[in-house]
Amino acid sequence: MAKRHTSQEVQPAFFSILNEQWFDFPSEAKYGKSRPVTDFEKLSRVGEGTYGIVYKARDTKFDKIVALKKMRMAGTKDGIPVSGLREINILLNLRHDNIVELKEVVVGKSLNSIFLVMEYCEQDLASLLDNMPAPFSETQVKCILIQMLKGLRYLHENFIIHRDLKVSNLLMTDKGCVKIADFGLARKFGLPSKPMTPTVVTLWYRAPELLLGSKIQTTAIDMWAAGCIMGELLAHRPLLPGRSEIHQIELIIEMFGTPSDAIWPGFSDLPALSNMTLRKQPYNNLRHTFTWLTDAGIRLLNFLFMYDPNKRATAEECLESSYFKEQPHPCDPELMPSFPQHRLKRKAPEEKRQETKSSMSKNSDLFSDFGVGPTSAKKKK
């Protein structure tokens, strides 16, 4: 059967990635004309992830508010970590309303300290979901989903698999524009890369083929994560919050029934199944979970949660869904609430969210490269 999702069997070839990535750099960055980070005034710290700390900062030369992401160097032998290089290379070559814009790369005092200058987004959806008193209305959920799907369609058309889609990587501007962020795990198909690790994609959003050890990565892993995000936005809680990989598989089976070769050809050959027996559960419980959702909504969720990655919905197909054409219609992004009261609450809830990627030391003095010291940090608006 023809593949509906673009896929790649990944190979180990670490150094060719680095070379290809530098060849793709715009000449400014490639030939060392990057601006110094001292051109930026740090305003506040807005987020911290596995690969870097993110600050709200002011570009003093152009008087613009930006986000500055300092790449973590800890634990790397050769300077910039490959995840950072991938993120830089991929983002510099992308331009879309629903993808966070990387404006430039600037350097710190020491040569191996690198900052990504990105457009600043006021919110991330994880913090919003954890803090807002009432859930998003369905018209707002549709507005968010459509923007996410447009961003995904653009990525997949450009041969990029994000590989870490989750609510904390969906940012929102004060104008209600949703942006996919955090390309540290993203891959361009066609580039050789290291052998696939099944631990890509945060556990709660991880597709069954990854959990069961498939060696093939396709754009369908982003679409499963998109289904989890749709479920989370509609239910106002994570849909499949597994505590371990085994628990994650159990939750998936509880919700969608036990897969079989009949619905997912090749399923019984997946590596993890050689040492595990799956519980028999014949029912799909999506309708019981979303009793109030229209048939079109349930159909879209079921399409996103197809076990067989080849049959799973593409972003393009989702955008055609009748769910987005029926009442209540998606609201205009400009009409999305901006939630200024929740901007200060970003960090705490994010820490509570379960993450599976290894955590690195977060104590280094990351302010030391800025011209302005931590004591002069302005209060966030």
Chain residues 351-370 in contact with ligand ATP, contact rule CB under 6 A? 357
Q: Does 205 bind ligand ATP (CB under 6 A)?
A: no
Distance of CA 174 to the CA centre of its chain: 20
Beta-strand runs (E) in the chain:
7-9, 40-48, 52-59, 64-71, 102-107, 114-119, 123-124, 160-161, 170-172, 178-180, 187-188, 216-218
Write down the catalytic residue from 164, 182, 222, 369: 164
- Stretch touching ligand ATP by CB under 6 A, among 27-35, 104-112, 113-121, 298-306: 113-121
CB neighbourhood size of 109 (10 A)? 12
Q: Does 40 bind ligand ATP (CB under 6 A)?
A: no
**Number of residues near ligand ATP (by CB under 6 A):** 24
CB nearer ligand ATP, residue 49 or residue 108: 49
Cis peptide before 349 (omega within 30 of 0): no
Chain residues 82-101 in contact with ligand ATP, contact rule CB under 6 A? 100
Question: Binding mask 321-350 vs ligand ATP (x if CB under 6 A, - otherwise)?
Answer: -------------------------x----
CB nearer ligand ATP, residue 203 or residue 255: 203
Question: Binding mask 44-73 vs ligand ATP (x if CB under 6 A, - otherwise)?
Answer: --xx-xxxx-x------------x-x----
CB nearer ligand ATP, residue 67 or residue 239: 67
Q: How far apart are the first and last CA of the chain?
A: 54
* CA distance to 114, 241, 250, 356, 359, per residue, from 244 (Å): 34, 9, 10, 9, 16
Candidate residues 121, 172, 249, 270; the one interacting with ligand ATP per rule CB under 6 A: 121
CB 51 within 8 A of CB 72: yes
- Stretch touching ligand ATP by CB under 6 A, among 8-16, 116-124, 225-233, 310-318: 116-124
Torsional class of 138: left (φ above 0), alpha (ψ -120 to 50), beta (otherwise): alpha
State yes or no: 69 annotated in a binding site: yes
- Stretch touching ligand ATP by CB under 6 A, among 33-41, 42-50, 190-198, 234-242: 42-50
CB nearer ligand ATP, residue 118 or residue 146: 118
CB nearer ligand ATP, residue 73 or residue 121: 121
Distance of CA 22 to the CA centre of its chain: 24
Catalytic residue list contains 164: yes
- Give me the least distance between CB of 119 and ligand ATP, in Å please: 6
- Give me the least distance between CB of 343 and ligand ATP, in Å please: 10
Cβ contacts of 249 within 8 Å, gap of 6 or more: 208, 211, 212, 242, 278
Q: Does 168 bind ligand ATP (CB under 6 A)?
A: yes
Query: CA 159, CA 338: separation in Å to the nearest integer?
Result: 32
DSSP calls for 93-151: T---TTB--EEEEEE-SSTT-EEEEEE--SEEHHHHHHH-SSPPPHHHHHHHHHHHHHH
Tell me which residue of 328, 265, 360, 343 sits closest to 136, measured CA to CA. 328
CB 115 within 8 A of CB 69: yes
Q: Does 120 bind ligand ATP (CB under 6 A)?
A: yes
- Stretch touching ligand ATP by CB under 6 A, among 150-158, 168-176, 257-265, 366-374: 168-176
55 three-class SS:
strand
> Which residues make up each annotated binding site for ATP?
69
Residues near ligand ATP (CB under 6 A) are: 46-47, 49-52, 54, 67, 69, 100, 118-121, 124, 164, 168-169, 171, 181-182, 184, 346, 357
Active-site positions read: 164
